[in-house]
Structure 1
Amino acid sequence: MQALTYIGPGQKTWGSVPTPAISQPTDAIIKIVKTTICGTDLHILKGDVPAVTKGRVLGHEGVGIVEEVGNAVSNFKKGDRVLISCITSCGKCEYCKKQMYSHCEDGGWILGHLIDGTQAEYVRVPHADNSLYPIPEGSDEEALVMLSDILPTGFEIGVLYGAVKPGDIVAIVGAGPIGMAALLTAQFFSPAKLIMIDVDDSRLEMAKKFGATEVINSANEDAVKSIFEQTKDGVDVAIEAVGIPQTFDVCQRILRPGGHLANVGVHGISVHLELQKLWIQNITITTGLVNTNTTPMLLKTVKSGKLTPAALITHRFEFDQFLEAYDVFGNAAKERALKVIISNT
């Protein structure tokens, strides 16, 4: 089969690799119909995730068709259309019983990380009964790709960990896919203000369409100063959705007393934590890897039309254009790219 393979920092290739086979009775083999590229894939390519070894097929998002199941799989059969979760869950270990699926003792984030992922014609999904979701009849499968990772990530690690509540002033630093997912799902809780901070005017314009009440281009103005000029004493919730020291620093400096800093971004290097200033302000700082325990709820909101993640898709490609898709996504500002869809037709 054809797949996108990591060769080493800064190196990738699109070419032929062995087709996966059932290795455990709880496995399923899925024929990929649609997949995408995540910011985490770009972090891997930069060398930020050393656990990813040479020859790994990347990707942890997608929808597809069940090709084969192991004899212990009971919820799915050949021909079923399924959403693939970015998190693999055995459903039985201590962490799974706490709904901390990201720390599953025989799973977690392994697709495109510790085992081959979804940027391929076929993928092996361990613990299929707990790691796949049936696609409702008539669903927009492109939209559902957003539920593999970015929507539950923005919602769980940004909005829920940030404890967004009605009337809050919320600032999201980073208008990429994760920041936009946090923006869309924060509106479930009716915050008073949703402020989006980024350096890309085109993404800030898109954020306005998605519900941002204010936008700040931090390349043109001092974001911290602007926040304090338009609030009493800062924001209730700051969501870090980039993963670099500069954006984390903005978040820790704009919080009001009692505020929450929800770090969602993947950090490849350390940040400077101003704990000497934060401790006396009763600040809560949270971090996390998505658990995807909210995916069933998000599926319902998409099916009902309350959430429209298809709006996040800006570019579409075929599988033989995978390297071009990476070029576009990797130059998001220039290409005005948010999420790309790659279809196996």
Structure 2
Amino acid sequence: MEALRFTGSTKKLEYVQIPVPKISEPNQVLIKVAFSGVCGTDLHIISGDFPCSQDTFTLGHEFSGTVVEVGSAVQNVKKGDRVVVDPNDGCRCCDFCHSGNPHFCKIGGQTNLGVHRNGGWGTYALVPTNLVQKLPENISLEQGALAEPISCLSHGWDLLSPVPVGSRILVIGAGIIGSLWACILHLQGHRRVTVSEPNTNRLNILKKLDTGYDLVTPNTLTKSSEDPNYKFDIVVDCSGYCPAIEQGLGLLDKGGKLCCFGVPPPGAKISVAPFDLYDKEITIFAVKVNPFSFVKSIGFLTSLGSRYLDYGRLGIEVFDLKDYPKALEALKLGKVAKAVFRL
């Protein structure tokens, strides 16, 4: 089978042919991968900016596919089922896991699919049954490939809520995550939304969603901020870029919330004036992955449907796995909002 393998110790990515994995434990599921997304985290891993396994493994933590074989103890899915995969797991023994916060688990995070063990950038993937979620008939495998990022947004939505309709909202970054935030906000009835993005290609892609949102560059935000009344109730940063986060923080009105959703490089810092936090009663929180939010993600996929999840309108381009250099380059240049491999 074909696979994209990454070696953490040498930072080397290779397209190779490897044997199809075999079920060796009763709780395993063998999945024929259909679509597997490229996440910003994958780019950080490849560039050496995100911690991962130092061994050689198959990348990819956003994928959908069809079950081709199951272990003897598997009961939740069967051969032929269309499924998506939650790549994150905890040890299920520690205090964090037992209190419903497996994403804080100090052991489980070291076993995440596509980051520390084999993931979905290959023809087949071997997955523990507890990480497999069956797709409803009304959700396509293409849409299912977005289940993992939307599950992270679902967790963020839970932390951010309630969001009163009519709130003034700023989304920073118009990559695929910013676009999906725009979709979910629009689905929930929010219309006073501004999206800031320096790459005009990405802004033009976002126009295809026909949300009616204000699509601006950071320079436009800077000029608008000269008006003391130009403020937002909520800022959702999807960039992980510290100057952009600081700009968004400065545009929050009294009682505002800053959601740090984008993943910055380790060690990156922002400057915050504690007096401003006190004076405005600002809330700052971050979102880490998707604890127990895959069921909610399936709900979002069903509600969003083809109105929002059409690949063409989202700026998602599909590539063959062997064409991975083209996919990664298109992402880095912002020519596409997201790249997805078709296996």
TM-score clears 0.5:
yes
Contact 1:2 / 1:16 at 8 angstroms: preserved in 2? yes
Structure 2: gaps (5+ residues): none
- 1:243 and 1:98 map into 2 onto residues whose CA distance is 28
Between 322-331 and 83-92, report the one with greater CA deviation.
83-92
Distance 1:228 1:290 in 2: 36
1:248 aligns with 2:245: yes
Q: Which residue, out of 247, 252, 271, partners 2:269?
A: 271
**CA, structure 1 residues 285+247, in 2 after alignment: closer, same or farther (shift >3 Å)?**
same
Structure 1 residues 304, 232: closer, same or farther in 2, change over 3 A?
same
TM-score using structure 2 length: 0.87
Which residue is equivalent to 1:213?
A: 213
Structural RMSD (CA): 2.6
Give, in whole Å, the separation in 2 of the partners of 1:248 and 1:305: 28
Distance 1:195 1:212 in 2: 10
Aligned to 2:58: 57
Distance 2:252 2:205 in 1: 25
Matches of 1:279 and 1:19, distance apart in 2: 57
Distance 2:24 2:246 in 1: 45
1:255 shift after superposition: 0.9
Q: CA deviation at 1:329?
A: 2.2
User: Is the contact between residue 165 and residue 190 of structure 1 (CA under 8 Å) also seen in structure 2?
Assistant: no
| Structure 2 counterpart of 1:71 | 72
Write the letter of the residue equivalent to 1:140. S
| 1:15 aligned partner, one-letter code | V
Cα pair 1:2 1:15 within 8 Å, conserved: yes
The answer for the alignment partner of 2:332 in structure 1 is 330
Distance 1:168 1:289, change over 3 A: same
Which residue matches 2:120? 118
Structure 1 residue 166: deviation in Å?
Answer: 1.3
Distance in 2, Cα, partners of 1:25 & 1:227: 59
Deviations 1:163-205 (A, max 9, x none): 3321111101100011111111122443351100001223223
Deviation for aligned residue 1:99: 4.2
Question: Matched residues in 1 for 2:288 and 2:75: separation?
Answer: 28
Give me the whole-angstrom Cα distance separating, in 2, the residues matched to 1:317 and 1:26.
32
Q: TM-score, normalised by structure 1?
A: 0.86
* Structure 1 residue 124, shift from structure 2 partner: 1.8
**Residue pair 2:91, 2:108 contacting (<8 A) in 1 also:** yes
Percent identical: 26
**Corresponding letter in the other structure for 1:41:** D
Matches within 5 A, 1:140-219: 140-148=140-148, 150-157=149-156, 159-163=157-161, 164-210=163-209, 211-218=211-218
Aligned residue identity for 1:144? G
2:38 maps to 37
Number of residue-to-residue matches in the alignment:
334
SS in 2 for 1:56: strand
- Paired with 1:188 and 1:172, the residues of 2 have a C-alpha distance of 15
Whole-Å Cα distance in 2 between the matches of residues 238 and 105 of structure 1? Answer: 30
- Which residue is 1:137 aligned to? 137
Query: How much has 1:316 moved relative to structure 2?
Result: 1.5
| Gap change, CA 1:166 and 1:91, over 3 Å in 2 | farther
Moved more, 174-183 or 70-79: 70-79
- The letter of the residue matching 1:260 is K
Q: Which residue identity does 2:133 align to in structure 1?
A: Y
Change in CA separation of 1:99 and 1:166 when aligned onto 2, cut-off 3 Å: farther
Q: Give the distance between the partners of 1:20 and 1:50, measured in 2 at CA.
A: 25
Which residue pairs with 1:82 in the alignment? 83
Q: Distance in 2 between matches of 1:75 and 1:323?
A: 37
In structure 2, the CA distance between the partners of 1:246 and 1:2, relative to structure 1 (3 Å rule), is same
- Amino acid in structure 2 at the alignment position of 1:272: I
Judged with a 3 Å threshold, the aligned counterparts in structure 2 of structure 1 residues 295 and 308 are, in CA distance, closer, same or farther, namely farther
Of 311-320 and 112-121, more deviation after overlay is shown by 311-320
